[in-house]
Amino acid sequence: MTRLIDLRLGLFLAALFAVTVLAPLATTLPSTSALNLPSYLIPLMGKYLCYALLAVALDLCWGYAGILSLGHGAFFALGGYAMGMHLMREIGARGVYANPELPDFMVFLGWTELPWFWYGFDMFWFAAVMALAVPGLLAFVFGWFAFRSRVSGVYLSIITQALTFALLLAFFRNDMGFGGNNGLTDFRDVLGFSLSAPSTRIALFVLTAVALAGCMLLARAITISKAGKVLVAVRDAESRTRFLGYRVESYSVFVFTVSAMMAGLAGALYVPQVGIINPGEFAPANSIEIVVWVALGGRGTLVGAAIGALVVVALKSWLTATFPDLWLFALGGLFILVTLALPNGLLGLVDRLKPRKAKPATEVPA
């Protein structure tokens, strides 16, 4: 019987719990203390956790079902936009143009009415539902068409990339009504709490950690269920699965949709902590970068994906600040290193170093 929380997941969740408790405490220490954590680092850590959640989402569909989406950034961004739209509405009359109804950029464009698709976003619960529903629905419709036509492998990767590219172009347009080039920003508060208040920041950070833990448990529950075994079966021998009577497309659509909703959740948590969402999040390069997080950590491990995201993003923060020219060399080299030398990622490496763990979670053929 496979346990929901195995050693690896347990260790990761424990570490996550420790950080979630200790980091906010550390910000309350006097600034002279060596253990003091400047409070501006809290949203940064929250951002990292959002990326980890995004990586877990991608690992669920790539690592377990073999669906390499090169468009997961799109689901992330859509979730982000849904939350961003709510935060824009919350600004209310405090904007530059002091229009109680319209966000600044609409006033600037000379619009007089709120477009219909902005209705309802003044309510938090609606935005929260939309942050999951919009990516979920897009993934469902897209997946339903794609998987039913048996588009798979690299073809699927290419059209998911085309999808995010099309969205990138669309969101750049001013007349789409999402703030065009500049996106949505200048947020003030959420549910009445100021976004710049340390307490709000801590709350958002804790919420993100809870969401990450929850999604990892959910993803783990799915993968160890019989349906999870069907997904791996699809990845390994698709036609065998079909001849056993499983409708592969239903399983693929299911996992793709769940994964997209997780990505949307990550985006929705990301926006209030970062303070901006713009069309750049749809850039195909972003989506491909998510893949390297998962590949580096070890695909098909969930914990590895989260660790991979944290490692790469931390590396990026450090390199872009100290040696900006080196960042792309490092990222490119990482891609090559992982594909050539670490097919099972960092966790695979750990498993190899500890031979007593004879059975790696997955031995992944392409």
Could you tell me which of 81, 100, 80, 78 has the C-alpha nearest to residue 91?
100
Angstrom distance (rounded) from CA 60 to CA 114? 37
| Shorter beta-carbon distance to other proteins: residue 146 or 277 | 146
Q: Which is nearer to other proteins, 210 or 283 (CB)?
A: 283
Name the one residue in this structure whose structure tokens are 């901006």: 276
**Per rule CB under 8 A, is residue 244 in the interface with other proteins?**
yes
Quick note: the x/- pattern for other proteins over 245-284, rule CB under 8 A, is xxxx-xx--x-----------------------------x
Q: Which is nearer to other proteins, 271 or 291 (CB)?
A: 291
Which of 30, 31, 243, 353 binds other proteins (CB under 8 A)? It is 243
As measured in angstroms, the least distance from the Cβ of 124 to other proteins is: 30
- Report the alpha-carbon angle 182-183-185, nearest 5: 95
Pick the binder of other proteins from 7, 100, 117, 173 (CB under 8 A).
173
Q: How far is the CB of 310 from other proteins (least distance, A)?
A: 19
Site for other proteins in 336-355 (CB under 8 A): 336, 338-340, 343
Q: What residues numbered 67-86 form the site for other proteins, per CB under 8 A?
A: 68
Measured between alpha carbons, how far is 127 from 122 in angstroms, rounded to an integer? 8
The rounded distance, in Å, linking the Cα atoms of 294 and 299 is: 5
| 201 sits in which H/E element | helix 198-224
What is the spatial distance between Cα 37 and Cα 45, in angstroms, rounded to a whole number?
Answer: 11
Q: Give the CB-side neighbour count of residue 294, counting CA atoms within 13 A.
A: 27
* Of the residues 28, 33, 196, 225, which one makes contact with other proteins according to CB under 8 A: 225
- Name the minimum Å distance from CB 155 to other proteins: 6
**Does 334 interact with other proteins (rule: CB under 8 A)?**
yes
> How many chain residues interact with other proteins (CB under 8 A)?
72
Nearest CB to other proteins, comparing residues 216 and 291: 291
Smaller CB separation from other proteins, 43 or 66 = 66
The nearest distance, CB 288 to other proteins, in angstroms, is 5
Strand partners, 177: none
For the chain, strand residue ranges (E) read 184-185, 189-190, 193-194, 276-277
Residues 86-145 that bind other proteins (CB under 8 A): 142, 145
By C-alpha distance, which of 296, 301, 291 is closest to 357?
Answer: 301
Name the amino acid, one letter, at 239: S
